[in-house]
């Protein structure tokens, strides 16, 4: 997931379905959902602080030094079949979309483990073919992925 514009309210976007439709309410995953929502919030706050700090940084320093504090940048949902991984991911995808993030989906199958970067190439191809990242948007938003 990538946050598009952290300093402004999310723009109105054309409707794009995230996951399956007509799902019942998510039950029994309050702790996991809260942890994922906190991760979204923390990432948004870190990006806002980073952008504010970049404005103050000298023009002579084209590359910011590595930050000392480590932050989560990826979430991997693992578990047995039928325990609600997809349902939890759908809820987080909807929440991220409400916050103005771009959300893409992919799946991993055991037979495809030998294909390098398979999940990422499929995800990026979908994003480009669906028009999620147009050239003018890329120029307007130089920081697409954090």
The whole-angstrom separation of Cα 122 and Cα 106 is 7
Instruction: Answer whether residue 70 is part of any domain.
Output: yes
Instruction: Answer whether residue 145 is part of any domain.
Output: no
Partner residues linked to 2 by β-bridges: 102
| Residue 21: pLDDT over 70 | no
Instruction: Answer whether residue 78 is part of any domain.
Output: yes
Instruction: Answer whether residue 97 is part of any domain.
Output: yes
Looking at the 3D structure of the chain, how many domains does it have?
1
Residue 107 is part of which domain span?
2-140
Give the mean model confidence (pLDDT) for residues 4-15: 51
Look at the alpha carbons of 5, 106, 119, 84 in this order and tell me if their dihedral is positive or negative. Answer: positive
| Residue 134: pLDDT over 80 | no
Instruction: Answer whether residue 146 is part of any domain.
Output: no
The whole-angstrom separation of Cα 61 and Cα 94 is 37
Q: What is the mean pLDDT of the chain?
A: 72
At 31 the pLDDT is: 92
**Structure confidence at residue 59 as a pLDDT band (50, 70, 90):** very low
Contact 59, 98 (CB under 8 A): no
Record the pTM: 0.60
| Residue 41: pLDDT over 70 | yes
Contact 103, 1 (CB under 8 A): yes
Instruction: Answer whether residue 136 is part of any domain.
Output: yes
| Residue 66: pLDDT over 60 | no
């Amino acid at each position: 997931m990538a946050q598009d514009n952290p300093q402004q309210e999310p723009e109105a976007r054309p409707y794009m379905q995230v996951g399956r439709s007509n799902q019942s309410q998510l039950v029994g995953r309050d702790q996991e959902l809260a942890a994922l929502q906190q991760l979204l919030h923390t990432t948004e706050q870190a990006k806002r602080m980073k952008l504010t700090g970049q404005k103050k940084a000298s023009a002579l320093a084209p590359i910011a030094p590595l930050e000392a504090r480590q932050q989560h940048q990826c979430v991997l949902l693992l578990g047995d079949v039928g325990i609600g991984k997809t349902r939890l991911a759908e809820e987080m995808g909807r929440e991220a979309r409400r916050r103005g993030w771009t959300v893409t989906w992919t799946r991993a199958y055991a037979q495809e483990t030998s294909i390098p970067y398979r999940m990422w190439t499929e995800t990026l191809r979908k994003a480009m073919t669906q028009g999620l990242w147009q050239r003018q948007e890329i120029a307007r938003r130089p920081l697409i992925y954090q």
